Amino acid sequence: MERARRLRLIVWTSLVLLTTVIIGVTIAAGPPAWLSGDQWRLDIEQALNAVGVVPGMVVGEAGAGDGYFTLPLARRVGPRGAVVANDISRRALASLETRARDEGLNNVQTVAGDVDDPRFPRRDLEVVVVVHAFHDFDKPVEWLVNLKKYLRPGARVAIIDRDPARGAESHFWPRDRIRGYAKDAGYDLVTSADADTDHLIMVFTPRSA
């Protein structure tokens, strides 16, 4: 019995030491990517600058998820601006609402959309951003066509995603495919930029009649 007690003590001590080492390594390495907001390795401020988001804007976001891009977007447009965050997942939108509320961001409104229509509740959006989501759209052309009725004249649509030409996984869409969908939906590419790592930023505007 004494031997069993000593063995349990050794095992317990080893577990404590192992846990201490893991915690120490974690602290030294910094927070995990999902906690730090860098899981996509995207410089969000650079992306906002490239798209031209400024304080006071009315912005829509599609495929917002739980707010990875939405919250920085809301902080950028400020209290005089507004962000309408769209997703087809009500669970994700509920999480986004909680996060926005916790940060005191009262300029965020959420809306559940369809696979072919974002169903934004406004028709004066100046910019619409789609971040890390367009490659998952089932009906990208139909969606882009329906998007037009929510845009004010001269509005821009920015698609930000990882670029398979620069190392992203193959399920992400190359820029020519994205441009093709936009062209079929009646949009012209006005600018294309590479972000900090393996991202692309493509900004479109509805084609003039």
Residues in the chain with pLDDT < 50? 16-37
Predicted confidence at residue 166, as pLDDT, reads 82
Cβ neighbours of residue 177 closer than 8 Å, sequence gap 6 or more: none
- From the list 63, 123, 58, 122, the residue with the least C-alpha distance to 87 is 63
What CA–CA distance (Å, rounded) separates 165 from 168? 7
pLDDT at 139 (0 to 100): 97
